[in-house]
Amino acid sequence: MGCVRLYLSKIDKCFSSSYWLRGLAALLILSVVFRAPLLMKHLSKGFHMARFELDYDWSDIEDPFADEKEALKIFSQPFTYLGRGAQCYVFESCDQNYVVKIFQENRRATPLSRWKGSLKRKKNTDFRSCLVAYSLAREETALEYLHLHTTKARLPKLSVQSPTGQWFSLPLDRYSFALQKKAKPFQETLIQASLEGNLAVYLSSFLSLIDSRLAKGIRNEDKSLLSNFGFLDQKAVEIDFGRYLQSEVFLQPDMQRMEKKMFVDQLSIFLERELPHEIKTLETCLLQSEQSLS
């Protein structure tokens, strides 16, 4: 019994002192220290300057963009963080008329020889999609300017705000990026157009956009509807062109019908869910679209 009393008295002494408070504080501090990197990654959306800067010379891909006068005017204003995609971070201009998509460099822990080869093949594919979009479908994608590999003293430093509110000065000569006009979201625009009674104008523009791209033998391997398209006023544009392919094979009528149907089917599902009373509007626009092509 004496041993038990001694043991209990020691416990009482510990809890009556500040020892347990110090221990709890230490645990809290350790928890914060270990969780801080995860919290910062969440808040920063994974934003790191090192993810942007080009490591290699991609000059084997032709750069046809020698005139950047208009782009220089646009880059004179600051840009703030807007969002991110699978391959890029997106920043919005101060006047809210443009977005710049800065492509990130994914550095994976793979053997160096394999890493360099696979990275370059991936970049070649991505950049050729950009070239297809700019050279053949600039109107369809609202593209203003492309910069695909390092240059010297050609572009200014761009002032950008990170997701955490920090400001950085990016020397654009050292980064690959695309500059686009900022489009309004696809879904919200169609819903608003329906409320205003002019949805047919927007649907017809969307169908014309698909027809125009297909007429140039361009296919988008990414078949997402709501995230890939938007509107400039009443004009539909395809804002995500990262999976563009161009081939004469895609000029075949069967291939074009299949490609168009994939997007039209998604549009029908969207209307049935959000605007079921507009299904007939789509049917009318489809009929007019087919008649204009015949």
Taking the CA of residue 87 as centre, how many other CA atoms within 13 Å lie in the half-sphere pointing to its CB?
16
pLDDT for the residue 163: 87
Which residues, in sequence order, are bridge partners of residue 170?
158
Q: Which of 53-67, 77-91, 157-171 has the lowest mean pLDDT?
A: 53-67
Q: Which of 34-48, 129-143, 217-231, 248-262 has the lowest mean pLDDT?
A: 34-48
Give me the amino acid identity at 119: L
Tens of pLDDT, residues 161-220? 998 899 999 999 999 999 999 999 999 999 999 999 999 999 999 999 999 999 999 999
- Domains for the chain: give ranges and CATH numbers: 49-181 (no CATH), 184-293 (1.10.510)
Rounded to 5 degrees, what are φ and ψ at 132? -60, -45
Average confidence (pLDDT) over 38-42 = 45
Q: What is the DSSP letter of 142?
A: T
pTM for the complete prediction? 0.77
pLDDT for the residue 115: 45
Tens of pLDDT, residues 144-174? 999 988 888 889 999 999 988 999 999 999 9
Contacts of 249 (CB under 8 A, 6+ apart): 217, 255
